Structure 1
Amino acid sequence: MSEEDQALRREMAMTLLGDLDRLTDDLVADIHAHSPLYFSGRPVSHTDLRGTCRSNVELALKDLGGLPSSDCHIEAAAAETGRLRAEQGMPLATVLKAYRRGGRVIWQAMADRMRDRSPAEQRMVGDMAGAVWETIDRFSTVMADSYRLTTLELQHREDSRRGALFEALLDGRGSDPAVTLAAATALGVPARERYAVVVVAQDPASPADPAPALEAAGLWSFWRPRGERLAGLVRLGPAGSGTLAATLRDSLGRTAGISPPFDELALADQGLRLAARALGTLPPGGSEVAELDERLVHAALGADREIAERTVLRYLDGVLRSGSERPVLLETLGVWLDTGCSAARTAERLYCHRNTVLNRIGRVAELTGWSAESGEARLGWALALRALETMG
């Protein structure tokens, strides 16, 4: 930069600094004319905007003219503006547009004062324009970087707060109305609505993420890992738990347990316990999804392994020790019980003759010592078969 150019910039900067208040007024008016958000005064108040504009114009002019500034440097001021606007929720595009309007107003003021200059000085206008926009570009870049960093920090802070409140619900602190209200606000859902809790068995090498599939099915959800499992709160709405279970079966590829629906966020801890009970009825390593209400017997037997073992021993011990007969007898018994003890329907399901079914059921009765006509025997056999599933 030549000495003449440097001297002209300094002179122009000092001249405009002498008229700083009017230049600030022009800039604020220009921003208001081109931004309905700034014009509304929300979220950035008119006082805030004017103060920021005045400070930034002063710093930009001093930077352009090579004049000494106060302790506040241009980069620090731009970073502070970016942080503040991010916290206020002003869109970044709107803030960047205001910076461009600032560059335009400063340049227009300079151009107006250059009209009466000598031809030699007017030939420097192009260089001065480049200098103005370089300053504005520096301002904008630093501000935008600070804005984005602050946005990430705010998002992380909000995610942490939402996660903490969700954990508080799962830990049983929803009995405090203040905790429930805070959690509902942070999660963006009503305190009273139809919900379910889902517990998913995690694979550390390939963590599950049910949220996208559920969102595509119209189901809002929020998830957090808990040890080796993933716990999720799902807003059922009118869809019901059937849609939830079907979506998880189609997309998850993991075993999962679903609690019965409940109508208050404060009951999420109960939902967690019941979803875990549902998951506990499934053998590990599969991809089945269990709704607790569909597997209450399994859950009851699985809650006490000793009782489950005694049930199996009392009602099915002879069949289990029958060697090669065991698989076909257990299968036939299960289908026979599921079809209401109908030999004909069992035969259709198993593609065999009705007499074959009767012979097999007779053999079960012989091996177990229970009559096939006994109501207790049929109940005991049904419970024992489910206990076997629970025990793996």
Structure 2
Amino acid sequence: MNEEPALRRELAATLLADIDGLIEQLAADICAHSAAYASGSPVSQDDLRVTLRGNMELALREFGGMRADAGRFEAVAAENGRLRAEQGMPLATVLQAYRRGGRVLWQAMADWMRDRSPAQQRLVGDMAGAVWETIDRFSSAMADAYRLRTLELQHREASRRGALFEALLDGRADDPAVAAAAATALGVPRQDRYAVVVIAQDTHDPSSPPDPGPALETRGLWSYWRPRAGTVAGLVRVRTYGPADLADLLRAQGVRRAGISPAFESLADAAQGVRLARRALDTLPPGSGQVACLDERLVHAALGAEPEIADRLAARYLDGVLRSGAERQVLLDTLRVWLDSGCSASAAAAALFCHRNTILNRVGRVAELSGWPADSGEARLGWALALRALELEH
């Protein structure tokens, strides 16, 4: 006759009769081995004891073959896992507590078995296996539920963060409650130095654009990124960095086409930031491979906002050059370098590796074709604006 089931039932009943003492012993052991549980936060001492009582009663009934209803064992374990996930207690800490519970339970059983007959003591190995099988089943059900609940919470939090980020970029942060909620969800202060980056997505490259977040983080820059209307928009806490510094970091990460807003000091200004970053991006032709700060492209942004004016500028100041055929490009390139060199023929010649007289001849040809004298202040301003208007022709 197999004595083990009866012996297990007797043992379980004995320990259940002294469940209070067992719970106090187990709570003390867990707290002695876990600073998190000992602190009482996020799991209070009362919460711990209530959970231990429910778990221990179920474990003993399972061990003793006294289950009240099928499935309750796993259901309680799963509920424990979900609760600890919601409280933010690390899974490793919870699993350690379960192992401590198994040790305390087994020690109590071993003490009881010590006074049994030699024949019954020979069953101690089977009894130990049954104890740890029960603990493992409970731990597995708890851990599975914990992980699933964690994923659910992470998804919910990610959705909430994304929605509040969109609220910032849509201009709803004028409402102090929205601004406060967004700051809390994103984990940043409402007042600091920020900039918005808008990165163009390359429809021909599924891996584009790269995620610059990790690289920025290594430089101490917090950022948050979301896809948005054919682009990826990012809010960056730039701190002491300027937009130009941020542009250099993005270029180093392989970002090929992006616009950066001027820095601003309140999350409530994020909506204006995304508009200005988009204006900077729109000044860059597709495939340009550039990262542009708005303040470095103000003329382009202003002209891009008024395409008819940009077209009129190009026609008024450079029409003859634009219709000059084969010499068009060399004349435009020379004019650009000459203007950028402060209208110095010598400096332009050095930049273009040609003779000074060649520069003067080409500028003279521009003046002839355009009908504007090269020494005219209006002509030089008009030419500079017209060249930038031409850069906007996508």
Equivalent position SS for 2:150:
helix
- Match among 217, 223, 244 for residue 215 of structure 1: 217
Q: Retained in 2: the 8 A contact 1:202–1:254?
A: no
Deviation at 1:217, TM superposition (A): 2.7
Equivalent position SS for 1:238:
coil
The range that moved more, 3-12 or 263-272, is: 3-12
Deviations 1:196-238 (A, max 9, x none): 0000001251232121222223221100111211100000001
Deviation at 1:4, TM superposition (A): 1.0
RMSD: 1.2
Letter of the aligned partner of 1:166 in structure 2? F
Deviations 1:151-179 (A, max 9, x none): 11111111111111110000000111111
Distance 2:27 2:68 in 1: 22
Aligned to 2:74: 75
Aligned to 1:180: 179
Q: Retained in 2: the 8 A contact 1:59–1:69?
A: no
Letter of the aligned partner of 1:365 in structure 2? A
Q: Percent identity?
A: 70
Distance 1:369 1:14 in 2: 108
Deviations 1:4-58 (A, max 9, x none): 1111111111111111122112111211222222122111011111011011111
Distance 1:92 1:68 in 2: 27
Distance 1:233 1:105 in 2: 51
Aligned to 2:143: 144
Instruction: List structure 1 runs of 4+ shifted beyond 2 angstroms.
Output: 68-72
Gaps in structure 2 of 5+ consecutive residues: none
1:288 paired with 2:253, answer no
Letter of the aligned partner of 1:257 in structure 2? G
Aligned to 1:94: 93
Letter of the aligned partner of 2:324 in structure 1? S
Number of equivalent positions? 391
Distance 2:303 2:390 in 1: 10
Q: TM-score, normalised by structure 1?
A: 0.97
Deviation at 1:379, TM superposition (A): 0.4
Q: Retained in 1: the 8 A contact 2:224–2:234?
A: yes
Letter of the aligned partner of 1:22 in structure 2? G
Equivalent position SS for 2:41:
coil
Gaps in structure 1 of 5+ consecutive residues: none
Deviation at 1:68, TM superposition (A): 2.8
The range that moved more, 206-215 or 357-366, is: 206-215
Q: TM-score, normalised by structure 2?
A: 0.97
Deviation at 1:71, TM superposition (A): 7.4
Q: Retained in 1: the 8 A contact 2:255–2:291?
A: no
Aligned to 2:324: 322
Aligned to 2:59: 60
The range that moved more, 153-162 or 274-283, is: 153-162
Deviations 1:243-271 (A, max 9, x none): 21001112133200000110101000000
Distance 1:300 1:220 in 2: 31
Equivalent position SS for 2:242:
helix
Q: Retained in 2: the 8 A contact 1:213–1:251?
A: yes
